[in-house]
Chain A
């Protein structure tokens, strides 16, 4: 079945540091890949997505590239801010009706210190 593996957290960085959160996946076929972010007390919000190999998703300074050869979708940001402190989830979804539900990783908590 489908699965997503994320690096363990928490990740603690100083403001303006470079961020990488690793994500690898196992899936049948060609899934779509997503990064969601969850701020305290809130639901999950889509951060970015990529639907085919070599696609790069980007939003709010965050980027991730769909690497089929390494089955990875690592999240990066060049300069983090305190406001980026949240939990980040990597997820995948298939295209068939029977595989539409998102499969999530365990989440990685990011703490950015001023």
Chain B
């Protein structure tokens, strides 16, 4: 398996523009997570899905952020309008549910710079 695939790897955009980050989870995984990593705040959970349904979106900073999972193999995180303080590395991760807890597998991240 190719692992969790995120695109793009790097994104530079101007303040006010819409940004869409994409994620393809590992096939068969039923949990998908979006995290944001900054020096100041570390790793923050933004939202996660189970079987394509959002379970907890309490970490989404504000209404400018939205996430969707239209099917089991694709998710997007959208920021509209973007602001310089959104600059961070955004990680997508997926895991397998069922009995017990299994580890989350992370993508390589999207480094977002808003200028």
Contacts and interface: CB of A to CB of B under 8 A. Distances in A.
A89 B93 CA distance: 15
A100 B48 contact: yes
A43 to B, nearest CB: 4
A58 interface: no
Interface in A97-114: 97-98, 100-107
A95 B96 CA distance: 12
Contacts of B93: 44, 102
Interface string A74-108: 00000000000000010001110110111111110
Given A49-B103, A97-B55, A97-B97, A43 B48 contact: no
Chain B interface main SS type: strand
Nearest to A98: B55
Given A42-B108, A43-B91, A100 B100 contact: no
B55 A100 contact: yes
A44 B42 contact: no
B7 to A, nearest CB: 13
For chain A, give the interface size range.
Answer: 20 to 34
Contacts of A24: none
A49 B107 CA distance: 19
B103 A101 contact: no
Contact of A107 (B42, B45, B105, B106): B42
Contacts of A66: none
A51 B101 contact: yes
A86 B6 CA distance: 22
11 contacts: A43-B91, A46-B104, A46-B105, A89-B43, A93-B101, A93-B104, A94-B101, A100-B48, A101-B45, A105-B42, A107-B42
What 9 A-B pairs come out closest when comparing CB atoms?
A: A43-B106, A32-B101, A104-B43, A44-B106, A46-B103, A43-B108, A106-B42, A101-B48, A101-B45
Given A46-B104, A97-B97, 8 more contacts: A34-B103, A36-B106, A43-B106, A95-B100, A95-B101, A97-B55, A102-B45, A103-B45
